[in-house]
Structure 1
Amino acid sequence: MLNKPAALIQEREFSFTAVDFQAIARRLYDLAGIRLNPSKDSMVYSRLVRRIRTLKLAGFADYLQYLARHTEEEQHFINALTTNLTSFFREAHHFDVLSQYLKQHPACKTIWCAASSTGEEPYSIAMTVAEHFGSFEVPIDIIASDIDSQVLAIATKGIYPQERVENLSQTQLKNFFHRGVAAQAGQVRVVPELAAMVKFTRINLLDQKWPLPESIDVIFCRNVMIYFDKSMQLQILERMVKRLSPDGLYIAGHSENFAHASHLVKPNGKTTYKPVTNRS
């Protein structure tokens, strides 16, 4: 624990020093480009201590050595330290924007959800697309990616607690979800037709190559850039903008602002952007 009395540190099962935290923060930045605020030290301890117990290691120093020697541990490390907060139709105005975009751009072919988490966002995109076409058979590919393999497994299953869909309309519940019965009571499952509209894949935004089409019409990248420093934001945003179609649309999160990237994107409404390269 950082900047806390030594007595409090001793209460923990394993020693966790500022040096340990800084080494973990550097490793996460190298692997995923994510910066850890020192205020997250308790979160880091609580999440990684589970891996230390599972691996039967002596402490954080041993864990860092293990991580350096075993590349297969990197995914567990990233999964443990990434935060996934999402809901169906979160920031609902973005889905109104998407619906309007589909009306104005009938040639739209590809939508990329760059931080799918447990699936609520890409399924919300798919519902919006299905409602636009009045069908599950649509001419649009929806690609949903995340760096966390565990949340992708949940997203692929498409099973959620009943309370996750309480804010959806009765029509949406009827058209897009099956209610669980017997042992599955209290859960809902995305209907197979909707699930088939979304392709889930693991992508680390720092990877040199992204398994994506060269041209993408709409990119949802919401509340992701806040975890990167300004330099990393610009690098990732520039790569994304290069893939946007001439009339492409970039949708950001409510806490993100790209005033520092005015050479790459220009505002197109509330937290939505157009690429500057397509300025007429």
Structure 2
Amino acid sequence: MMKENSPKDNRCASVVTTPKMTDADFRKFSTLIKGEFGIKMPLAKKTMLEARLQKRLRALGLSTHSQYCDFLFSPEGFERELTQLIDVVTTNTTDFFREPKHFELMLTTVLPDLSQQKNRPIKVWSAGCSSGEEPYTIAMVLSEFAAKNSNFNFSILATDISTEILHKAMNAVYSKDKVDVIPLALKKKYMLKSKDKAKKLVRMAPELRKKVDFRRLNFMEPFPFKDEKDIIFCRNVVIYFDRATQDKLFKKFCERLCKGGYLFIGHSESISGMDLPIRQIAPTVYQKV
């Protein structure tokens, strides 16, 4: 006589098994990611990549990572899927007024110095801007300085490799808890509350949004602009690259930094031992000589 499945057996039978990635497929992915984007992917990140690719497998109707690998390396897949892959790989962790001492130094030292040096708008680049918190913070700080210095003006270029995260940045909508760190006076001045009070959302005011030009940029490709920047923020970005790639990137940043301009990096990053035309003026802040 056939034994009926118990409810427990039925529940077990309905569990969906997550497809596993082979080491061979991971090596193909990691080699491609390193070659195209410069991002190091050691074997320790296999589980992370395996989990993050689940959404892409479902979207494409694929059941294994090997099938996804075959599609990715096909001519059609390489053209269509590469930007989706980098959206999966990149980690976009950022906050408003992250590392606040950087912005204090901007107001007390950097902006007064540059406003005396330059008889033109100050050019700022937020490299690796993620979902926009950094460039919008910069825009608020510079706008406040401009309000007290009538001849001061500025423009901000914000770049990231992820098209998905750039769309979020351009939309400029954030949850209220995300903006808690911003001083109340700045929130009142530069943010709009949602008309739907049930949605605890705010949006950057249009006059602030228009100050930021968002563009997609892969650091492994030649920088598509030739003008020199007065301030470059590249914080907590190069930690995803190996040391040789970091050295090349910082040299490229210095080439795009005007003499007397300032480079801000993250506290988890170091330029120790690199031959760069900059001097340290504060922890993780450098000026081109």
**TM-score using structure 2 length:** 0.87
The residue that corresponds to 1:62 in the other structure is: 67
Displacement, 1:37? 3.2
Q: Distance in 1 between matches of 2:245 and 2:42?
A: 16
> What is the letter of the counterpart of residue 206 of structure 1?
M
Match of 1:155 among 147, 150, 169: 169
Name the stretch that deviates more: 168-177 or 101-110: 101-110
* In 1, Cα distance between equivalents of 2:151 and 2:215: 21
Q: How many residues align?
A: 265
Alignment match, 1:195: 209
Partner of residue 260 from structure 2, selected from 247, 257, 266: 247
Give matches, 1:29-40, under 5 Å: 29-40=34-45
Deviations 1:99-140 (A, max 9, x none): 221111112621000011000000000001000011899621
Alignment of 1:1-280 (within 5 A): 12-69=17-74, 70=77, 71-99=79-107, 100-106=109-115, 107=118, 109-134=122-147, 139-182=153-196, 185-208=199-222, 210-275=223-288, 278=289
- Aligned to 1:260, the other structure's residue is in SS state coil
1:273 alignment partner, SS class: strand
Aligned-residue offset at 1:274:
2.3
Q: Which amino acid aligns with 1:40?
A: K
The Cα offsets for residues 63-83 of structure 1, whole Å up to 9 and x where unpaired, read as 112111221200000001100
RMSD: 1.8
Q: Provide the secondary structure at the position in 2 that maps to 1:205.
A: coil
Q: Which runs of 5+ in 2 are unaligned?
A: 1-15
Distance in 2, Cα, partners of 1:56 & 1:172: 46
Aligned mates of 1:182, 1:58 — CA distance in 2? 41
Question: Percent identity of the aligned residues?
Answer: 30
Pick which of 62-71 and 257-266 moved more. 257-266
Q: How far apart are the structure 2 equivalents of 1:262 and 1:12?
A: 51
**In structure 1, what is the Cα distance between the partners aligned to 2:212 and 2:96?**
15
Q: Give 3-state SS (helix, strand or coil) of 1:72's partner.
A: helix
Structure showing greater radius of gyration is 2
Mark the runs of 5 or more structure 1 residues left unpaired by the alignment. Answer: 1-10
1:8-54 CA-to-partner distances (Å, cap 9, x unmatched) read xxx84223122222221111111110002332222101111211121
User: Which deviates more from structure 2 when the two are superposed, residues 99-108 or residues 219-228?
Assistant: 99-108
Change (3 A) 1:61 1:265: farther
- Other structure's SS at 1:134 match: helix
Q: Distance in 1 between matches of 2:273 and 2:91?
A: 25
